[in-house]
């Protein structure tokens, strides 16, 4: 077949190709930049300080541990609230709610997903912080728990929306087949629909929790920003400081090229590595599932 | 009890499902079924046939209450199983669906292993003993003429089976529950002739023990299988008689026209 190509077609193809490559180039540039600015910190700051327990830049203490710990506590806490609640809500919307309620809830949840985090942070300061201080009888309501709750609220719409799509995509033939065998609606949902939608639900959780890890504004507003490491149950109700909040709060005040500046980039680098690892793990899980599904279909 | 008009010579048959003046509507559309009265005899193969849109599938789905799932479906009239009303709101639908199993036109193995598919209904019914589950599985798979083909790969995903095997798996899954009535909605629409023959052979076996209702995929299949047959046309039961009478000497002109291929 003769290949006579329309010039417009060729132009469009190169534009599309350019867009694809530029995405890769940008990611590469960002990582290079992070490495270039962040790595020198390992030479400038004694390792004992980097891996210590104090973050106190004015006196030269640059411990990453407390910040990583802060992010971890807040994110894990958020996931503990958001995952069961989010998957439960998705199950309700997809399988239990009557049609009219479903048609109201779904768009509402999607609007929530688009809420700017500052707005949520504002709500957190005005409502959640005093509520937590009073109900738990704490000295301050600016705690990891507050951050977790707020982040959970932020991750929820994403989880609900994506998980609901996944549940909704399960062929109704599965459900009818299960019901016809004498299963109740709940048994069908739990034993057939949810397992069949597993991949999508997992993606929903990853996306939601991913949003929680990277969140900055709202967390900075309600967690108290104390870079300390506390273990045990009281860690949840004490102030913490996350990596993202640290970078956001201090970046504006450091001298370009100073030690502090480089360490903040190191923090960014750590964050980058963590989200990279989470993404890769998620892809591996999804690929494995997909490969298994592929085998089943072949 | 007269089972069908003009069948006084037939041996006394035990009625299994009695349908009286049944009318089913979906939303504001004209009724999908209207004025249906017939009695399905026990331990016989009953065939509902006719062109698409006649209400055959609706009738099957009404009998085991799957129509409840359809928004706006309304049912009037009476359906009795062993003399008990099954349309009322107080009926235990889960139990009813275990007594009246259904196999759909498109086989739908649940997304799990062959073994799990067979266990599913029994586990839901509360059976926990692995020995009992496995025995029921083997018995059901054998009855559906599938055991020899799958006995070495019971823990593989059921979706890996061929179309014909999936259809027989769905039949086996219903048999495992030891229902009283088995309904099949075009069970060989997607099957090759060999698989069809296997399914039909197992149906002939099964009618010794079960009441079988089938919506066949073709008139030929209808005539091969029918002990009793009903011809459905646009929601109406045009003719209801023993298979022999209906296929050899139809009384209604429309039945005859359909059987001889003048329409449909």
Best-predicted range by mean pLDDT among A3-7, A45-49, A189-193, B186-190? A189-193
Average pLDDT over residues B211-216: 93
- Binding-site residues on chain A for chain B (CB distance < 8 A): 99, 171, 173-174, 176-184, 187, 191-192, 195-196, 295-298
The residue of chain A nearest to residue B61, with distances taken between CA atoms, is A180
| Residues near B237 by beta carbon (within 8 Å), at least 6 away in sequence | B35, B36, B37, B38, B230, B231
pLDDT in tens, B221-256: 899 999 999 999 999 999 999 999 999 999 999 999
| Residues near A219 by beta carbon (within 8 Å), at least 6 away in sequence | A74, A121, A147, A150, A151, A242, A244, A245
The Cα–Cα gap between B222 and B50 comes to 10
**CB of B71 closer than 8 Å to CB of B131:** no
pLDDT at position A296 over 70: no
pLDDT at position B11 over 70: no
Question: What does the pLDDT read at residue B1?
Answer: 43
Question: What does the pLDDT read at residue A91?
Answer: 93
DSSP at B159 = G
User: Given strand B15-26, what is the order of strands in its sheet?
Assistant: B33-41, B15-26, B73-81, B84-85
Higher model confidence: residue A28 or residue A257?
A28
Domains and CATH numbers, chain A: 65-243 (1.10.3720.10)
The Cα–Cα gap between A237 and B51 comes to 70
Range of lowest pLDDT (A45-49, A153-157, A168-172, B128-132)? A45-49
Contacts of A178 in chain B (CB under 8 A): 110, 120
Q: What is the mean pLDDT of chain A?
A: 85
pLDDT at position A234 over 80: no
Per-residue confidence at B181, pLDDT binned at 50, 70, 90?
very high
Q: Closest approach of chain A CAs to the CA of B53, in angstroms?
A: 20
pLDDT at position A214 over 60: yes
What own/partner pairs with CB < 8 Å and gap ≥ 24 does A175-179 have? A176/B66, A176/B69, A176/B104, A176/B108, A177/B104, A177/B108, A177/B110, A177/B170, A178/B110, A178/B120, A179/B66, A179/B69, A179/B97
Contact B124 A196 (CB under 8 A): no
pLDDT at position A232 over 70: no
Q: How many helices (H) and strands (E) does chain B have?
A: 10, 10
Per-residue confidence at B152, pLDDT binned at 50, 70, 90?
very high
| Residues near B161 by beta carbon (within 8 Å), at least 6 away in sequence | B109, B114, B150, B169
| Residues near A266 by beta carbon (within 8 Å), at least 6 away in sequence | A38, A39, A41, A42, A50, A64
The Cα–Cα gap between A79 and B96 comes to 42
Question: What does the pLDDT read at residue B16?
Answer: 92
**CB of A186 closer than 8 Å to CB of B94:** no
Query: What's the number of CA atoms in the CB half-sphere (13 Å) around residue A230?
Result: 16
A75 φ, ψ (degrees, to nearest 5): -70, -45
- Binding-site residues on chain B for chain A (CB distance < 8 A): 64, 66, 69, 71, 94-95, 97-98, 101-102, 104, 106, 108, 110-112, 120-121, 124-125, 157, 159-160, 170, 173-174, 177
A224 φ, ψ (degrees, to nearest 5): 85, -20
Of B66, B111, B177, the CB nearest to A176: B66
Average pLDDT over residues B201-208: 87
Higher model confidence: residue A129 or residue A1?
A129
Average pLDDT over residues A55-75: 85
- From residue B204, how far is each of B49, B138, B189, B194, B210 by CA, in Å? 18, 19, 18, 16, 10
pLDDT in tens, B34-74: 999 999 999 999 999 999 888 999 999 999 898 888 878 88
- From residue A203, how far is each of A34, A92, A111, B73 by CA, in Å? 27, 18, 20, 36
Q: Which residues pair with B79 in a beta bridge?
A: B19
Contacts of A183 in chain B (CB under 8 A): 94, 120-121, 124
> Which ranges of chain B would DSSP assign to H, the alpha helix?
56-63, 93-99, 114-124, 130-143, 147-150, 163-175, 193-206, 219-225, 243-248, 253-259
Q: Closest approach of chain A CAs to the CA of B121, in angstroms?
A: 5
Contacts of A179 in chain B (CB under 8 A): 66, 69, 97
Q: Provide CATH code, domain B15-93+101-109+181-259.
A: 3.40.50.300
The Cα–Cα gap between A33 and A40 comes to 12
Question: What does the pLDDT read at residue A95?
Answer: 87
Per-residue confidence at A3, pLDDT binned at 50, 70, 90?
low
Per-residue confidence at A298, pLDDT binned at 50, 70, 90?
very low
Q: Would you kindly state where each structural domain of chain B is located, as residue ranges?
A: 15-93+101-109+181-259
> Which ranges of A3-128 would DSSP assign to H, the alpha helix?
7-38, 41-44, 47-50, 65-91, 99-113, 117-123
A106: how many CB neighbours lie within 10 A of its CB?
A: 18
| Residues near A231 by beta carbon (within 8 Å), at least 6 away in sequence | none
ipTM associated with this complex: 0.81
| Cα-based angle A71, A75, A76 (whole degrees, multiple of 5) | 120
Question: What does the pLDDT read at residue B2?
Answer: 43
Contact A173 B112 (CB under 8 A): no
Tokens linked to B157: 């995903």
Q: Which of B205, B147, B209, B135 is nearest to B176 (CA)?
A: B135
Strand ranges in A133-248 using DSSP code E only, listed in sequence order: none
Question: What does the pLDDT read at residue A297?
Answer: 47
Q: What is the mean pLDDT of chain B?
A: 87
């Amino acid at each position: 077949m003769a290949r006579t190509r329309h010039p417009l077609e060729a132009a469009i193809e190169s534009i599309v190709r350019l867009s694809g490559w530029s995405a890769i180039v940008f990611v590469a540039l960002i990582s290079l930049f992070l490495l270039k600015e962040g790595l020198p910190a390992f030479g400038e700051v004694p390792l004992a300080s980097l891996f210590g327990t104090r973050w106190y830049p004015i006196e030269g203490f640059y411990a990453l541990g407390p910040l990583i710990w802060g992010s971890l506590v807040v994110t894990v806490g958020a996931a503990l609230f958001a995952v069961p609640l989010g998957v439960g809500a998705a199950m309700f919307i997809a399988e239990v709610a009557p049609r009219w309620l479903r048609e109201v809830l779904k768009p509402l949840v999607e609007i929530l997903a688009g809420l700017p985090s500052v707005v949520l942070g504002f709500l957190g300061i005005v409502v959640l912080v005093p509520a937590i201080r009073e109900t738990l009888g704490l000295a301050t309501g600016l705690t990891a728990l507050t951050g977790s709750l707020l982040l959970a609220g932020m991750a929820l719409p994403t989880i609900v929306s994506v998980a609901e799509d996944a549940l909704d995509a399960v062929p109704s033939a599965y459900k009818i087949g299960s019901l016809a065998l004498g299963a109740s609606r709940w048994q069908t949902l739990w034993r057939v629909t949810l397992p069949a939608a597993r991949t999508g639900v997992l993606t929903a959780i990853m996306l939601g929790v991913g949003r929680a890890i990277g969140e900055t504004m709202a967390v900075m507003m309600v967690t108290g920003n104390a870079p300390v490491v506390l273990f045990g149950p009281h860690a949840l109700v004490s102030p913490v400081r996350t990596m993202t909040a640290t970078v956001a709060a201090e970046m504006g005040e450091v001298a370009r090229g100073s030690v502090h500046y480089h360490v903040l980039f190191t923090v960014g680098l750590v964050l980058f590595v963590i989200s990279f690892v989470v993404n890769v793990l998620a892809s591996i899980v999804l690929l494995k599932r997909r490969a298994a599904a592929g085998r089943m279909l072949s | 009890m007269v089972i069908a008009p003009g069948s006084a010579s037939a041996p006394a048959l035990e009625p299994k499902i009695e349908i009286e003046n049944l009318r089913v509507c979906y939303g504001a559309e004209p009724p999908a079924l209207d004025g249906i009265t017939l009695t399905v005899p026990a331990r016989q193969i009953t065939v509902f046939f006719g062109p698409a849109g006649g209400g055959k599938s609706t009738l099957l789905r009404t009998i085991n209450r799957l129509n409840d799932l359809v928004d706006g479906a309304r049912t009037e009239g009476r359906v009795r199983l062993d003399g008990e009303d099954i349309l009322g709101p107080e009926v235990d639908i889960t139990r009813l669906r275990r007594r009246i199993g259904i196999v759909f036109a498109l086989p739908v193995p649940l997304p799990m292993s062959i073994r799990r598919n067979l266990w599913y209904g029994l586990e839901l019914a509360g059976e926990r003993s692995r020995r009992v589950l496995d025995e029921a599985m083997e018995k059901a798979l054998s009855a559906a003429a599938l055991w020899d083909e799958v006995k070495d790969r019971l823990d593989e995903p059921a979706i890996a089976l061929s179309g014909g095997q999936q259809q027989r798996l769905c039949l086996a899954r219903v048999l495992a529950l030891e229902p009283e009535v088995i309904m099949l909605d075009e069970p060989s629409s997607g099957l090759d002739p060999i698989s069809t023959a296997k399914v039909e052979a197992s149906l002939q076996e099964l009618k010794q023990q079960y009441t079988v209702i089938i919506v066949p995929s073709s008139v030929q299949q209808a005539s091969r299988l029918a002990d009793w047959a009903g011809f459905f046309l646009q929601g109406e039961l045009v003719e209801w008689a023993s298979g022999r009478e209906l296929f050899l000497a139809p009384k209604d002109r429309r039945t005859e026209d359909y059987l001889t291929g003048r329409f449909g």
